[in-house]
Amino acid sequence: MKSLNKTIRFFGCSSLILMMLTSWNPAMAQKKIRVATIGFYNLENLFDTINQPDVNDEEFTPEGSNQYTPERYLYKLGQLSEVISKIGREDDPNGIMLLGVSEIENKSVLEDLVNTEKLKPMNLGVVHFDGPDRRGVDVGLLYRKGIFTVISAKSARLFTPDDTAFRTRDQLVVTGLFDGDIVSVIVNHWPSRSGGEERSAPKRNAAADLTKQLVDSLYRLNPAAKIIVMGDLNDDPVNVSVTEHLRAVGKKNKLEKLGLYNPMWSLYKDGVGSLAYRDSWNLFDQIIVSEPLVSDRTGYHFLRARVFNAPFLLQKEGAFKGYPWRTYVGNDFKGGFSDHLPAYIVLVKEIK
């Protein structure tokens, strides 16, 4: 009964949420529904202040080039917790239920994050595995303990036979019971564009191939699998890695059985971005869903996707006015949040 009571408390605002969503989608009128927001956020170098052996993290120490003191670390945690506490509340007053994250150094920084004043009431659990990235940054998953119960978790490593020295972030695969539905989440941070977009593209294509293999393996276990692929893909929804290697389509009428639907495609086409570079926006932070989350209306199903771009997240002045407000620009501490904006999707299910 304890977990059931938590669920009731979490979803006690159904009538309010119904009013909000029926104004956007009249087809939901006269239906009693539950809403859940699921997101992704690149935390931009959430390091602790300890110099770890065999990891290139020296700049994020008190003696390093960033003069990254315990005070700055705690400030960074506070800034990020402010953002996370507000993601998705426009669609669901209960806030985010699952949040994939990237650019985190280890499990301890996530544990510090979920125990901040703003996030502790959300009762968030942490899934994390150490990966091989030379800078020590990994991906992870935060989840509401009263709503999501982890069934299995593993990390998948990208091997590139033509470049055996290459090391990048592992892909995190977590399957759990989400308010009665079995849901699998794959959290990504694909290889960067360092060296140029074209030159680095094969590595992102290889990362997309790995993600597709993970999706296909989940589909083999269950053709009705509800799968959410999320992450900083370092490519836009229209790039080859996403469209041809991951094979995520941007239009529902193109979605095939056992396929993937990318709702970020239409946002990108409308000019929405999650990071800015040289006065243009990219939408690298994407959330992609499996076909059953679109076509199967039993349990939770996809409603819409958004980028959380509240004004407080943006630089107010200077050369980078309107860009995401960063923690550092070079070695200069700016006291912002991240160079990326969070992305999230809204899922709904009808209550009988």
Q: What is the pLDDT of residues 245-266, one digit of tens each?
A: 999 999 999 999 999 999 999 9
Pair of tokens at residue 167? 């090391």
**What per-residue confidence (pLDDT) applies to 15?**
40
**What per-residue confidence (pLDDT) applies to 279?**
86
Mean pLDDT for 34-42 is 97
Instruction: Report which residue type is found at 85.
Output: S
Q: What is the pTM of this model?
A: 0.92
**What per-residue confidence (pLDDT) applies to 31?**
74
**What per-residue confidence (pLDDT) applies to 214?**
98
> Which of 6-15, 32-41, 336-345 is predicted with the least confidence, judged by mean pLDDT?
6-15
Whether CATH 3.60.10.10 fits 2-350 = yes
Q: What is the pLDDT of residues 82-105, one digit of tens each?
A: 999 999 999 999 999 999 999 999
pLDDT at 48 over 70: yes
pLDDT at 14 over 50: no
Rounded Cα–Cα distance for residues 28 and 16 (Å): 13
pLDDT at 10 over 90: no
Better pLDDT: 91 or 8: 91
Rounded Cα–Cα distance for residues 129 and 107 (Å): 8
Please state, for a pLDDT cut of 70, what percent of the chain lies above it: 91
Rounded Cα–Cα distance for residues 315 and 322 (Å): 5
Give CA 72 to chain center in angstroms: 24
Q: What is the pLDDT of residues 151-190, one digit of tens each?
A: 999 999 999 888 888 999 999 999 999 999 999 999 999 9
**Helical (H) or strand (E) element with 202:** helix 197-221
Q: What is the pLDDT of residues 281-310, one digit of tens each?
A: 999 999 999 999 999 999 999 999 999 999
Residue 37 CB burial class (10 angstroms; 0-12, 13-18, ≥19): buried
Mean pLDDT for 317-325 is 93
pLDDT at 218 over 90: yes
Q: Are 79 and 45 in contact (CB under 8 A)?
A: no
Mean pLDDT for 110-124 is 98
Mean pLDDT for 314-318 is 93
pLDDT at 54 over 90: no
**What per-residue confidence (pLDDT) applies to 61?**
96
